[in-house]
Structure 1
Amino acid sequence: LSPAMHNAAFKKLKIGARYMLFEKSQEEFAPFIAQLKLTRVSGFNVTVPYKETVMPLLDEVDEQARQIGAVNTVVNKDGRFIGYNTDAFGFITSLKSDLKCPPRGKNVFVIGAGGAARAIGFALAREKAREIRFYDILSERAKKLSQDIIKTVDAVGGGGNTEITFVHNMPLNRRKIFSGIESADILVNASTCGMKTGDPMPIDPALLPEGIVVYDIIYNPSPTKFIEAVKARGVQAVNGLGMLLYQGAAAFELWTGKAAPIEVMRGALEEGLRECRKK
């Protein structure tokens, strides 16, 4: 979907550029980045699982991206590759715009502890959520992420009184696994669970408390089984299309120095999703 979004924006603003996809293995990734430096590329996006891997390969990393510990956007500035993170901006903008749910003073339960969860957790702390609780199938990963974010917000003084913690993985009792969900105002699925056909839902919708809102960063398939299930229970929920849109708009502006044509980009994303459903 990203090529459709960005290429529509380039066309609208009459910019002579093209956005293309490249899939690379772990072994191919670093040599590919080195090869890109020899081209006229203006910039590029990096997706999972390379948002952290790419950082030491860059000439410079923006301070916010360094604090988050993940890069999703790279700009070629006079031959130097500079890394940024637009995921945090994209998530918060979508949360406020699409769910009408500013996180300030809210309890947030985040499923997942990868690069997307890092950006989301950092953004939630900066927005002064009351509590952020992480769950990952690997509890040590959730623990490390919570500790990393605590250190970061303490260092920059942006988290206020946000409590950041993690849930121990106790698979014999699903209610204990999701301890804290009962007091959550916002649930974020920041894992890849739901991206593939046959994936289980990230959490049993029956565990969701009344009044909670759900943000699932998965945008394809749309809707996911999880989104369908929680909406069937009357829960307000959105997928990650808005996050993709707003992080993409921020990346576009970094690459071009021009205001992103948001509605053109949104239309291209929606059309791309319709095409995906036909396949």
Structure 2
Amino acid sequence: MGFHFKLIGYPITHSLSPWIHEQFLERSNLQGTYKIDEFKPEDSFEENIKRLKNEQIDGFNVTVPYKQAIIPFLDILDDTARKMGAVNTVAYKNGKWIGYNTDGVGYVRSLESKYPNLFNNKENRVLVIGAGGAARAIYYALDQYEFSNIDIANRTKATAEGIIEMAHSPRRTEILSLEEAEKNAGSYELIIQTTSVGMKPNQEQAIISSNNIKLNTIVSDIVYQPVLTKFLRDSAKKGAMIHQGHTMLLYQGQYAFEIWTNKKINIGDMDTKLKDILEGR
């Protein structure tokens, strides 16, 4: 019979999730399908969910605008999803719908796969730029590694304050303005850009200047269209080591697939293949 997975959201016709999970199915030698199911805003979300439950699928991903709307229809939330207040992966297990959030784990896996030594030194200073859902998930995941400093920069400082409350261990987290972040960029070993600034069609924008970034800083941008953002290009010119956002997509998917099937797929050359697909768009 095989596995049956879906993606719900709107609009999602151009999503790369089917390609990613079809690759995972093939690489794991499992039979199955992964299909897009657009929930149009004018339709009843509750009725669509009832229909989905009747289809008896094994799991599904959730994207905008339904990451919060799905929660009341779930039987169980894992701890991360509860803290995030958002769900992007649902698994059907033992007659229950269980909600997960794979954003933070997916991001950290993608970063660790390229720069494993970063995680060996807890004194490495981290700057997270932005205070939205992605920033929240990434901060929470990095917190598990107990870096001594994880600062947050955002246009409005008040928005960032709620993120600090998730820290499981005491730490000094400073909330900075974007101007302060730009000025102090040279004091960090890892800088993570989590906003949509620099995304197509505004690919010549950057959230902050890279002028003060020091040599060999790891600069990461979760934007993946374009694959190489202006922020990454400018940072590379300053001698930074870069981490591209499309890899986060792969490792988020890897974790979701693992939840559904108990199989952890080796990403291998999917990084390059996905990059080629994105650059051809």
The answer to whether TM tops 0.5 is yes
In structure 2, stretches of 5+ residues that fail to align are 1-15
Out of 103, 111, 121, the position equivalent to 2:129 is 111
Within a 5 Å distance, the mapping from 1:16-95 to structure 2 comes to 16-24=31-39, 28=43, 30-31=45-46, 32-95=48-111
Out of 191, 206, 212, the position equivalent to 1:187 is 191
Structure 1 residue aligned with 2:159: 141
- Native 8 Å contact 2:124 2:190 kept in 1: yes
- Native 8 Å contact 1:51 1:115 kept in 2: no
Partner SS, residue 75 of structure 1: strand
Letter in 2 for 1:149: M
Give the whole-Å Cα distance in 1 for the aligned partners of 2:126 and 2:55.
43
- Native 8 Å contact 1:41 1:76 kept in 2: yes
Letter in 2 for 1:258: K
Give the whole-Å Cα distance in 2 for the aligned partners of 1:140 and 1:56.
28
Give the whole-Å Cα distance in 2 for the aligned partners of 1:233 and 1:96.
22
Task: Please report how far the alpha carbon of residue 261 of structure 1 lies from its aligned counterpart in structure 2 after TM superposition.
Answer: 4.2
Distance 1:205 1:62, change over 3 A: same
Give the whole-Å Cα distance in 2 for the aligned partners of 1:45 and 1:29.
19
Structure 2 residue aligned with 1:7: 22
Give the whole-Å Cα distance in 1 for the aligned partners of 2:30 and 2:194.
33
Give the whole-Å Cα distance in 1 for the aligned partners of 2:65 and 2:174.
24
Partner SS, residue 21 of structure 1: strand
Give the whole-Å Cα distance in 2 for the aligned partners of 1:25 and 1:193.
26
Distance 1:197 1:6, change over 3 A: same
Distance 1:180 1:216, change over 3 A: same
Structure 1 residue aligned with 2:219: 214
1:201 and 2:219 aligned = no
Higher RCO (C-alpha under 8 Å, 6+ residues apart):
1
Partner SS, residue 32 of structure 2: coil
Out of 253, 256, 259, the position equivalent to 1:254 is 259
Task: Please report how far the alpha carbon of residue 7 of structure 1 lies from its aligned counterpart in structure 2 after TM superposition.
Answer: 0.5
Give the structure with the higher percent strand: 2
Distance 1:205 1:27, change over 3 A: farther
Task: Please report how far the alpha carbon of residue 91 of structure 1 lies from its aligned counterpart in structure 2 after TM superposition.
Answer: 1.8
Give the whole-Å Cα distance in 2 for the aligned partners of 1:27 and 1:206.
46
TM-superposition CA deviations, 1:23-61 (whole Å, max 9, x none): 445565833334322212211122345434433332210
Distance 1:95 1:104, change over 3 A: farther
TM-score computed with the length of structure 1 as normaliser: 0.82
Task: Please report how far the alpha carbon of residue 98 of structure 1 lies from its aligned counterpart in structure 2 after TM superposition.
Answer: 0.9
Give the structure with the higher percent helix: 1
TM-score computed with the length of structure 2 as normaliser: 0.82
